[in-house]
Amino acid sequence: MLRYDGVADRPIVASVPASTDRSPHRVSGNELGGMAVSLPTHIGDPLERVRLTTLATTIAKENNELFGPELYGKLITYLPPFAAPPAFRWLARRDARNRLFNVPVSNVAGPRERGDFAGAPVSEIYSAGPLIAACGINITVWSYVDQLNISVIADDRTVDDTHEVTDAMVHAFCEIRSAAGFSGEPIAVDTAMP
C-alpha cells in the first residue's frame, strides 16, 4: 500500500468465503457464503495487528452465525443476471472508501496426511481464486500436512509483480515472530516452490 498508494491509513477489508454446507458427508461441490473481515494494515505494531485481526475475525464469524451463512448467497439472488455486470462495473468505479471489500482471501483446510494423485506423490497444494470487479488481487491459502501454501494473483494495474505481495507477507510474518519473542529468521524449505 505504501509503495503504490503512498499511504496505509485505513484497514483493508477482506471478503472471506465460508462454506455453508457443513455436512461431514459432502464429497464434492461448494456451497459458499462470505464474511467481511477488517485487516488492520494501517497499524504499525505487529502484535496489535494480530490482536485486532483476531477480534475482527471473531466478529465476522459471529455475524455469519447470527445472520446465517446463507445470507450472502440469498442477497446475490436478488440481483437479476442481466443487471449483475453493470452493477459490478459501477461498484468497481466507486471510491475505495465505499467499497464493500478490497481483497478476497480464501483459506482452505487441506489434507492432514500426505497423499498421491494417480500414483504420483502430492508435495504441495496451490490454487487460485478469480479476480473480480474492484479487486485487483486475490489471495488463496491452502494447508497441506505441515505446510501453509499461499497463492497470489493480481492484475497488472494493481501490482507489477505478485512476489512483491508474498515478500511483504513474509516480512510481516517475520515482524510478528520477532515481536512475539521468537529469535532467528524462519527456515526456508528447499523443496517448496518459491
pLDDT, tens only, 78-94: 667 677 667 666 665 66
Burial class of 66 by CB neighbour count within 10 A (0 to 12, 13 to 18, 19+): exposed
Give the chain's domains with CATH numbers.
2-179 (3.30.559)
Residue 80's alpha-carbon distances to 30, 72, 77, in angstroms, are: 22, 15, 7
Residue 108's alpha-carbon distances to 93, 121, 144, in angstroms, are: 30, 20, 9
**Which triple of cell numbers denotes residue 149?**
501454501
pLDDT score of 118: 93
Task: Say what the pTM is.
Answer: 0.75
Q: What is the pLDDT of residues 96-123, one digit of tens each?
A: 555 567 788 888 888 889 999 899 999 8
* Segment (H or E) for 36: strand 32-39
Collapse the DSSP code of 158 into the 3-class scheme (helix H, G, I; strand E, B; otherwise coil) and give the result: coil
The single-letter code of the amino acid at 80 is P
